[in-house]
Amino acid sequence: MTRSRWVTIGFLALGAGLFFALNLERFFTFERLKSDQNVLRELARSNPLEVVVGFFLIYTLMAAFPFVPHIPLSLAAGAIFGLGRGTLLASFASSIGATMAFLLARHLFRDPVERRFGNRLASFQEGFRENGATFLFSLRLIPLVPFFLVNIVMGLTHLPTRTFYLTSQIGMFPATLIIVNAGTRLGSITRPSGFLSPGVLTSFVVLGVFPWIARGIVRFVRIRNTSRKWPRPSRFDRNMVVIGAGSAGLVTAYIAAAVKAKVTLIESGNMGGDCLNTGCVPSKALIRSAKFVAQIRKAASLGVARADISVDFADIMARVRRVISRVAPHDSVERYKELGVEVIKGQARIVSPWAVEVNGVTLTTRSIVIAAGAHPRIPDLPGLDTVCWYTSDTIWSIGELPRRLVILGGGPIGCELGQAFARLGSSVTLVERGNRLLKKEDSDVSSVIEEIFTEEGIEILTGHLSVRCERVGDENRLVVRQGEKERTLVFDALLLSLGRVARTEGYGLEDLGISLSKDRTIDTNAWLATNYPNIYACGDVAGPYQFTHTAGHQAWYAAVNALFGGVKRFRVDYSVIPWCTFTDPEVARVGINEQEAMEKGIGYEVTRFDFQELDRAITEDAETGFVKVLTPPGKDRILGVTIVGDHAGELLAEFVLAMKHGLGLNKILSTIHVYPTWSEANKYVAGVWKRAHAPQSLLEWIRRYHNWRRGNGGAPMC
């Protein structure tokens, strides 16, 4: 905790101690107020300004702290100043005091709570950004809800201070008016709650619920107005239509069929989408072949004096196609038909919120799930159309190994394919406009990968901007610039690896007015619904992650919410998202890393274990890399894990499980791991953390105890 927080807590504790030590609460009781009301009124008549200012300051201070219930003060406002002035004073003093408590809670508790429960609170904070003001307004309308508790809880959120104050000012006004009015006839009230009859309290509860009812009505009217131009069918042919048969679409259709819904899956290209045909599957097949070539070339390090190898690129690409064909039946039309999914090959177009047109036929449906995926980003680079270029989608059509390959972009795709082609014999140059490769990872991760790439002959040009492409005779050229200095790169093939863009055109989004986010993905809420409540989106087209496993993760929520949202909806859980870059060594991560922790102001400790100390890594001559775990200072809770090394993606799973279920490093340390295996690294990094947090004072007493047991004198304890 920071020094300013401790100072603030000290002042609060001192104030509370003085308040109760001096028995000041006796001046704010209902009975004292009744007995002194005439004296207070006379004082207000003789010294109006001083009493108004003094009362306002006292009320504001008392409203900021939980020492005194604010209802007696509101009664006092009516008893002393009358209905008009009393309501004005009580309304503003209570709102300002509440805002002071709100800001104190934010200063003292919000950051520590977010550091402790950040992952679990993420969905709550997201929902509060959308409905926070309405929720606060409802609470303020109901006097039964503890005033001070509301201030504290709101301070833990990201609700703007101005919104909190204005909402509190308006929301508390009806109850304040009633209580102040009761104070004007204080003599006839026998107990503090006498003016809050069951009927009055019920009215406040109805008022509190009303904003939510109003929101529902407004939402219903907006949806109805949005959908009015399209006639709603009296009956539907299907429960769901899914657009796109990539990872997200396949899982969505699978789940819908599993719960016996009538579902149609529409795909204009190949089943399996990018992952099967141009992404995960072919790239990992190519990487495997390239890794084998690299291992043969390092045979001497394994004690093999000579190992010759001959690489035929055409044969390797033929193997890539065989791998795709082996995996394809998992995503095939035949398999999904057997599962109960109707599969249609064709170009889908959404023609209304309840209808999709494909191959000249209109299908009516209760819900639509868009899983249209993404495509590679093509830069607006002068001269690009004059040279030979590829993307991660089209590189698989290449006929022969390019002698000189230039790659634009030093992210995961560029690094994976760049290393693979270099190992197969291409002269590879990686051009990255940032100051390092894999910029989303920590700098020590980038350093390891850059060092390996340099050893393998890859030229890395970080901090370079692409200026233009040129075709000079038979030569393809790329001009890059670093600062004021330009350089020309000659290449046989140019690979554009600059990220992927959601596929949002060509199937009717524009005609319906389906909203897009600033990132040009389909804009969805926490339940993956678009601005049409029966149209959902998941996978790359929705973001925020573009991984096959997150597409499948989102698909469950999209399917269940689309089919059963009228009964029960589920917010998407993004609290524990792992990913892996399949370079050699691999880079795998879950949770936050150091650079993200620093950007967010999250306190952390780093525990690291190097593979140079792992027996299995030594036996396999694969000692490059490490396991790095981030934890809150002094606490056994995992904030994030980064692994660089062989099998990093597989090793990460244990940490993903631990984070998902709230397990710490002590639990991993107490788990038996087979020797000698790579997974022992997870146990060893937990051991490093344990040693760093060993109770030194206890260990000192244990040392004395052992000395005593050996007869060396000294008491074992005092």
pLDDT tens, residue by residue, 43-81: 778 888 888 888 888 888 888 876 666 677 777 788 788
User: Average pLDDT, stretch 684-697?
Assistant: 91
Residue that the structure tokens 């308040």 belong to = 19
For residues 512 and 535, give the distance between their C-alpha atoms in angstroms, rounded to a whole number. Answer: 11
pTM of this structure: 0.76
- Cβ-contact 110, 154 below 8 angstroms: no
Burial profile 329-351: b = 16 or more Cβ within 10 angstroms, e = fewer: eebbeebbeeeebbbbeeebbbb
pLDDT tens, residue by residue, 636-647: 999 999 999 999
pLDDT tens, residue by residue, 289-313: 999 999 999 999 999 988 888 999 9
φ, ψ dihedrals at 391, nearest 5°: -120, 180
Name the token pair of 522.
Answer: 């389909």
For residues 194 and 197, give the distance between their C-alpha atoms in angstroms, rounded to a whole number. Answer: 7
Q: What is the 3-state secondary structure (H, E, C) of 212-265?
A: HHHHHHHHHHHHHHHHCCCCCCCCCCEEEEEECCCHHHHHHHHHHHHCCCCEEE
Question: Among 163-167, 568-572, 601-605, where is mean pLDDT lowest?
Answer: 163-167
User: Average pLDDT, stretch 75-98?
Assistant: 85
* Per-residue CA distances from 36 to 40, 49, 56, 184, 195 (Å): 6, 19, 18, 14, 20
Question: Among 23-37, 407-421, 589-603, 704-718, where is mean pLDDT lowest?
Answer: 23-37
- Cβ-contact 153, 140 below 8 angstroms: no
Indicate the helix (H) or strand (E) that contains 432: strand 427-432
Helix axes 30-46, 48-64, angle to 10 degrees: 150
